[in-house]
Homo-oligomer: A and B are copies of this chain.
């Protein structure tokens, strides 16, 4: 599994945990819905700024998303 796909999987899981649709998530992050979809499918990778915005909306520290991504890469 590559980094982008690992991150995408983490993002999708965290998003579902807070019961946000991709549309709602996109709106709250002020990002494009297509971008969220591409991130979740591992076809884009977030910039540092996007990472912080996503984490804020998910109400988790940004480093948690990275730690979780790294765990999946290692497993």
Contacts and interface: CB of A to CB of B under 8 A. Distances in A.
A66 B67 CA distance: 10
A64 to B, nearest CB: 7
A3 interface: yes
A34 to B, nearest CB: 18
In the complex, the count of this chain's copies comes to 2
A16 to B, nearest CB: 20
B51 A62 contact: no
Interface residues of A, number: 18
Contact of A7 (B46, B48, B61, B69): B48
Interface of A: 3-4, 7, 45-49, 51-52, 61-64, 66-67, 69-70
